[in-house]
Chain A
Amino acid sequence: MADKSEHFEALMRQALDGDKRAYADLLQETARFLRPFLARHLNFSTEVDDVLQEILLSIHKARHTYDGNRPYKPWAYAIAKFRLQDHLRAHYADHLRYAVELSEVENDLQEPVTKSGMTYESISGEVEKLPPRQAEILRMMHQEGYTAKEVAEKVGMKESAVKVAAHRAYKILRKKLER
């Protein structure tokens, strides 16, 4: 274990001396040990990849703050946690910005898509212009007749997330149809 750990420090020392191969190996191995750490905190593999890339770029940018004499992993993890927190902060800020009351969503779901008695088919053109995930949810709920729970199972989302997505789609549609 100690040997493996010292291996990182040795690679970083070589990298700081300008050894491109050692640097590539170090970054590959860093990505390898950080991936499970990120996967524990993030839901989607694309998200893990995005944050991992941010971290590798940050390691590259901050490599002058590592001298090769202290353990490498705590240094790399400090940067990884910092970038992960940044990502999560932005992610939750977005969620808060677009947050809706669940009771509001429930009310919407009791109503037809439009209050004027329009059929799904008559507004399907507008539905297709929605973001793909929202369009898919509306299609399944109103054309194919699935419930929110069934849609959630089919698309691999939580039921509440499906309801929120449908609610947002209704809002967009209402705005467009009221014009």
Chain B
Amino acid sequence: MVNIEELVESLAQDAAVVQPAPHPFALAAKWLAAAAAYIVLSLVFSGLRPGLMAELHEPWFLAEIILLGGILVATSLSAALLAFPDLHQKRRAAFAPVVILALFALTIIFSWHADNPPAPLPVHSYQCTVSIALFALLPAAWMFYGMRKFASTHYRLAGSIALLYAFSIGALWLRLHEQNDSLIHVIQWHYIPMIAFGALGLWLGKVMLKW
């Protein structure tokens, strides 16, 4: 191995003008804009669920949609911060998804209690998980591609947040597209898989984001 002085000299010889990475807020805004465009475009092609406007007057449904959007915003911001070695020195903001996910879980629990008598289960089941997963593939790919350009020192967490971002896009799209009032179905085939894929991101982050 070369000694430290030689290494420093050799690295200094490589010094050239370097364009600093964009601010994480700008990065998060870019990822959010991409997610919004993807959802809107997909809804244009796949269509909105019938009676969506009426459904949005239901407070629990509205809260669910708002918090799904909140998860999307929080995961975009968190992923952008986690892409930097020092979390851009905004450690608290990087853990924002924890708060939003807790609020989301509470909302779903209250919404479940309010669903009395329970809405009938739809005839399909795992197909929703498959749809969300397929829908999330593209956002997951652009997210990992984007994050690999940085230098995450929390690659497992970053991978998990990246997949949560992608799957929250899928879950939001399906909730706005599919006519389905059964909360049990939504929990079982939309949200539990979303969280499970987020956990899978811990492994994927290690594979994709280690540098």
Contacts and interface: CB of A to CB of B under 8 A. Distances in A.
A15 B88 CA distance: 19
A62 B21 CA distance: 10
Interface in A35-60: 49-50, 52-53, 56-58, 60
A31 B4 contact: yes
A68 B2 CA distance: 29
Contacts of A81: 153
Interface in B14-30: 14-21, 23
> B-side binding surface: helix, strand, loop or mixed?
loop
Given A17-B17, A65-B21, A67-B20, A75 B8 contact: no
A2 interface: no
A28 interface: yes
Interface residues of B, number: 31
B85 interface: yes
Nearest to A74: B86
B11 A56 contact: yes
A75 B1 contact: no
B211 interface: yes
Interface residues of A, number: 37
Contacts of A49: 1, 3-4
Interface of B: 1-5, 7-9, 11-21, 23, 83-89, 150-151, 153, 211
Given A16-B17, A21-B12, 18 more contacts: A16-B18, A16-B20, A18-B16, A18-B17, A20-B15, A23-B15, A24-B12, A56-B8, A57-B11, A60-B14, A61-B151, A65-B151, A75-B85, A75-B86, A77-B86, A79-B85, A81-B153, A82-B153
When A and B form their complex, which 7 residue pairs have the shortest distance between CB atoms, in order from nearest? A62-B151, A24-B12, A82-B153, A78-B86, A23-B15, A67-B20, A18-B17
Interface of A: 15-21, 23-24, 27-28, 31, 49-50, 52-53, 56-58, 60-68, 70-71, 74-75, 77-79, 81-82
16 contacts: A16-B17, A20-B15, A21-B12, A24-B8, A27-B12, A31-B4, A49-B1, A56-B4, A58-B211, A62-B150, A65-B21, A67-B23, A68-B20, A70-B86, A79-B151, A79-B153
